[in-house]
């Protein structure tokens, strides 16, 4: 696999924007202490630039977007098999007999996610980045609450699971579509990595919080439904953030 990646890299030219950044960096280094203050700022450590006056708002939007989407899915990833098994118990399906149902349910959830991933880009180009992300997050909340709180038996799970998967997984395509468009080329990779990585650090406490919620909320379903509603943070990010569909990719 590493050899294949090496061959692919050798045959893929650098994007024009990236090459322009490389040329500017070379020129600034050659200028040394005579470089302008703007060029010196351009050469600052990329991570620190994310919190500059020009970029800190976009950094906050990206981080809020990531935290919301990650918190809304982590509990489902951990507890959905358990929740399915509890629902199946109501119908007298337990032990080994429940395994095919749970496996098929997780497969349907994943298939829905694949469709959500694949269609996100088309919808984002058609409607805009912000409306698409808002729709996916709203779909996550509605389908998640219906799954966890509205269904009393397993009968409708095979239908609702792929719908829930479509939205709760599919919105992650927005991490690759929307966030890169918020940042200029010379800090873009750092910004996307920071927002995703920091979001994962924050949401690593999600399962712990969700576990603590089980007792006061009375069930896995109630706790999972509560955690799913953290998609509201992602919706808040879209309300505050700017639309980028018709913007030229920042240089």
Burial tier of 119 (Cβ tally within 10 Å: 0-12, 13-18, 19+): middle
pLDDT at 216 over 90: no
DSSP one-letter code for 95: G
The tens digit of pLDDT for each residue in 127-182 reads: 999 999 999 999 999 999 999 999 999 999 999 999 999 999 999 999 999 999 99
What tokens were used for 77?
A: 């990833």
CA dihedral over 121, 123, 127, 130, signed as positive or negative: negative
- pTM equals 0.88
The tens digit of pLDDT for each residue in 92-135 reads: 998 899 999 999 999 999 999 999 999 999 999 999 999 999 99
Residue 251: count other Cβ atoms within 10 Å of its Cβ.
11
pLDDT confidence of residue 225: 93
pLDDT confidence of residue 24: 59
Q: Which domains does the chain have, with CATH numbers?
A: 56-240 (1.20.1250.20)
Residue 145: count other Cβ atoms within 10 Å of its Cβ.
17
pLDDT confidence of residue 186: 84
What letters, b where the CB count within 10 A reaches 16 and e where it falls short, cover 24-55? Answer: beeebeeeeeebeeeeeebeeebeebbeeeeb
């Amino acid at each position: 696999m590493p050899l294949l990646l090496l061959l692919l890299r050798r045959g893929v030219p650098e994007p024009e924007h990236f090459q322009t950044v490389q040329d500017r960096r070379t020129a600034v280094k050659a200028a040394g202490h005579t470089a302008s203050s703007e060029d010196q700022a351009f050469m600052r450590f990329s991570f620190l630039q994310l919190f500059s006056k020009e970029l800190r708002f976009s950094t906050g939007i990206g981080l809020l977007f990531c935290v919301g989407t990650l918190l809304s899915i982590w509990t489902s990833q951990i507890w959905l098999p358990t929740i399915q098994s509890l629902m199946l118990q109501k119908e007298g399906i337990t032990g080994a007999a429940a395994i095919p149902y749970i496996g098929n349910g997780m497969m349907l959830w994943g298939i829905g996610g694949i469709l959500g991933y694949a269609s996100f880009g088309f919808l984002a180009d058609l409607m805009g980045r912000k409306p698409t992300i808002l729709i996916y997050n709203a779909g996550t909340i509605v389908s998640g609450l219906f799954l966890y709180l509205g269904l009393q038996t397993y009968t409708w799970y095979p239908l609702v699971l792929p719908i829930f998967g479509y939205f709760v997984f599919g919105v992650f395509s927005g991490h690759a579509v929307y966030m890169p468009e918020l940042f200029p080329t010379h800090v873009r990779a750092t910004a996307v990595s920071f927002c995703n990585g920091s979001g994962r650090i924050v949401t690593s406490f999600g399962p712990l919080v969700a576990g603590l919620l089980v007792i006061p909320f009375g069930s896995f379903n109630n706790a999972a439904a509560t955690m799913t509603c953290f998609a509201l943070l992602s919706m808040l990010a879209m309300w505050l953030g700017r639309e980028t569909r018709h913007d030229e990719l920042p240089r």
